[in-house]
């Protein structure tokens, strides 16, 4: 079945120049493998579409049940150059939490 990522994870996002970083964290460490399987760099790139001009990198932090994504060329130039209201990507984590993922009922429990 399909669920929103926000059902099993929370997030925080920020910037480094024109790169936005999004940390995705499983509420329950048992769901970390679901994140690793479902929230791939390709899917994140596809989800944001034209918003992310560069590539997306993913890093794994199993000790925190978390994934770290770097979205390159995602902030309209970043820092002081950007003309966007969210030049620091502070809202992009909340956006990503709306992405739908495919899970078995048994693996996420009640």
Partner 1 sequence: MIRIANGQGFWGDWLEAPVRLVEQGPIDYLALDYLAEITMSILQKQKEADPKLGYARDFPPLIGRIQRRLIEREVTVIANAGGVNPIACAREVRRLAPSLKVAVVLGDDVFGRLDEFLAAGHAMKNMDTGEPLSAIRDRILSANAYIGAFPLAEALALEADVVIAGRCTDTALSLAPMIHRFGWKATDWDKLAAGTIAGHIVECGAQCTGGNCQVHWESIPDMANIGYPIIEAEHDGRFSITKHEGTGGRVSVDVIKEQLLYELGDPKNYITPDCVADFTSIQLKDAGPDRVQVSGIRGAARPATLKLSIAYSYGWKAIGTLVYSAPQALEKSRAADRIVRQRLLQLGLKFDEIYTEFFGVNACHGPVAVPNPDPPEVQLRIGVRGQDQKAVDRFTRELIPLVLSGPPTGTGFGDGRPPVREVVAYWPALIPRELIQTSVEVVE
Residues that bind partner 1 (CB under 8 A): 10-12, 14-18, 21, 23, 25, 27, 47-51, 59-66, 68, 70, 76-77, 79-81, 83-86, 90-95, 97-98
Report CA torsion sign: 83, 86, 89, 95: negative
Q: How far is the CB of 98 from partner 1 (least distance, A)?
A: 7
Q: Residue 86 or 103: which CB sits closer to partner 1? A: 86
Nearest to 77 by CA among 28, 20, 18, 26: 18
CB of 13 to partner 1, least distance (A): 8
Q: How far is the CB of 68 from partner 1 (least distance, A)?
A: 5
Q: What is the 3-state secondary structure (H, E, C) of 38-83?
A: HCCHHHHHHHHHHHCCCCEEEEEEHHHCEEEEEECCCCCCCCCCCC
Minimum distance from CB of 66 to partner 1 (Å)?
6
Q: Which two tokens stand for residue 107?
A: 């693996």
Q: Smaller CB distance to partner 1: residue 37 or 91?
A: 91
> For residue 58, how many other CB atoms are within 10 A of its CB?
18
Specify the residue, 88 or 104, whose C-beta has the smaller distance to partner 1: 88
């Amino acid at each position: 079945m399909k669920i929103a990522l926000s059902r099993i994870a929370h997030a925080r996002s920020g910037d480094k120049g024109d790169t936005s970083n999004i940390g995705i964290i499983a509420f329950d460490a048992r769901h970390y493998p679901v994140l690793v399987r479902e929230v791939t760099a390709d899917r994140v790139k596809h989800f944001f579409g034209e918003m992310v001009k560069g590539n997306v990198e993913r890093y794994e932090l199993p000790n925190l049940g978390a994934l770290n994504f770097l979205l390159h060329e995602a902030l309209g130039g970043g820092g002081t150059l950007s003309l966007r209201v969210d030049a620091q990507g502070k809202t992009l984590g909340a956006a990503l939490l709306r992405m739908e993922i495919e899970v078995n009922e048994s693996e996420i429990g009640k």
